Amino acid sequence: MSTMSEIEAVSVSREAADYFITAANYIAEDAAIRRLRYHLLRLGASAGLTDKDVEELGELGSLVFREDRTTDQTAKIANRADASPLAVTIAKVVEEGTSSARWPTDPKAVLLGAVLGAYISLSALSDTSGPSPEVSATSGAVAGALAASASTFVMGNIERTPLDDYLDMREG
C-alpha cells in the first residue's frame, strides 16, 4: 500500500481548491440570473439532465418554494422511464430527505443543496480518470443536500455550546 507523497498531497489540495473555485464561479454566474432554470440547464449541459428533467425539476422547485406538496411531482419524475439518474436523485432527496432526516430540514435548502451540490461534476469534467459527470453530479447532489440541510442544525448546536468547549480538541 503506497502513501501519498507530500508533493501529491499539495497537488490534490490545489486541485480541490480549483474545483471549489470553478464550481463557485458557475453557481455565482447562474445565481446572478436569478432563475432556478439556469442552474438546471447548466446540469443539463454537463451532467445529463434532459429537457424533460429540467422542466419537471422546475415544477418540483416551484412546489418546494411555494411550500406545496411534492409527492406527486416526485413520483412523476421517479416513475418516468427516461428520467436521468440525477433528476430522480434530486427529486427523491427533496421528498424523502426532508421527511426522514434526524434534524429539522428546510426543503428549499435541501433542493438548492442538491442542485448546487451537483455542480461538483462541473468543476471536475477535465478529469477523465474518475467517475462520469452523471455519477459525480448524483453524488454531489446527495452531499450538497446533506451539507445544506445539516449545516443549519449543526450551527444551531454550536450556538448553544460555549465556543471554547466546541473548539476543545481533547476527548471529552
Considering the domain boundaries, does residue 15 fall inside one? Answer: yes
Q: Where are the alpha helices (DSSP H) in 66-132?
A: 71-78, 85-92, 98-100, 107-117, 120-123
Contact 79, 52 (CB under 8 A): no
CA count, 13 A, side-chain hemisphere, 97: 29
Amino acid at 107: P
Considering the domain boundaries, does residue 134 fall inside one? Answer: yes
Considering the domain boundaries, does residue 67 fall inside one? Answer: yes
- In this prediction, residue 130 carries a pLDDT of 66
Considering the domain boundaries, does residue 147 fall inside one? Answer: yes
Amino acid at 172: G
Considering the domain boundaries, does residue 172 fall inside one? Answer: no
pLDDT digits (tens, 9 = 90+) for 130-140: 677 777 888 88
DSSP 3-state of 68: coil
Considering the domain boundaries, does residue 1 fall inside one? Answer: no
Domain coverage including residue 55: 6-167
In total, how many domains does the chain have? 1
- In this prediction, residue 147 carries a pLDDT of 85
pTM above 0.85, yes or no: no
* Mean pLDDT on 146-156: 84
Task: Tell me the C-alpha distance between 34 and 75, whole Å.
Answer: 27
Considering the domain boundaries, does residue 17 fall inside one? Answer: yes
